[in-house]
Amino acid sequence: MDLSPTGRVILGVLAVEPRSGYDIKALTDKSTRFFWAASYGQIYPELKRLSDRGLIEGSDESHGSRKRTVYRITREGRKALAEWLGTPEQVHELRDEGLLKLFFAAAQGNDAVTAAIREKRDAHASALAELREIEPYAQSAERVGPAEVLGYGLAYNEFAIRWCEETLERLNKEN
């Protein structure tokens, strides 16, 4: 069964426990956004598509004037998720604006290159600090997966910081 990238995120989240669209977005902002982001503009239309296909079902759990639909994955949704999880990796795409800036910075001179590397290093340091904050939650997860992905994120950001520092040092010696 063909699932959109956002559909995969939603089914994966709902396979753990039922959630509202708002809750799905809040969870992805603290977890998968470090490697696979999803916006409200993607989540809500996809919830409708998945529901129309019978992969999830929503129930009204409004409180007073606050409308709230909580979605649950269906048996068909679990089958679709399992089918996708069983396929080989299809997309491996690195989208890194810092690298894009660095790629083009030479046109602005050496100072722009150095600034782009410093900016990249600082962005990775910030991401690393954020990941360290959520580390206790991932380590306490009752299922295998979140802590392993977090470990990858920690190692990736530590590598990127080290690479930036080494590159700055090398460029400093050359100039």
Residue whose C-alpha is closest to residue 79's, from 57, 98, 55? 55
Q: How far apart are CA 121 and CA 162, in angstroms?
A: 8
For the chain, domain boundaries: 5-85, 97-174
- In tens digits, what is the pLDDT along the chain, a chain of 175 residues? 689 989 999 999 999 999 999 999 999 988 888 888 889 999 999 999 999 999 999 999 888 888 899 999 999 999 999 999 999 887 777 778 899 899 899 889 899 999 999 999 999 999 999 999 988 877 777 777 888 999 999 999 999 999 999 999 999 998 7
- Backbone phi and psi for residue 33, each to the nearest 5 degrees, phi listed first: -60, -20
**5-85 fold:** Arc Repressor Mutant, subunit A (1.10.10)
Our CA dihedral for 161, 163, 165, 171, rounded to 10 degrees, sits at -150
Tell me how many degrees the CA angle 165-30-129 measures, rounded to the nearest 5. Answer: 30
Strand runs labelled E in the chain: 19-20, 56-60, 69-73
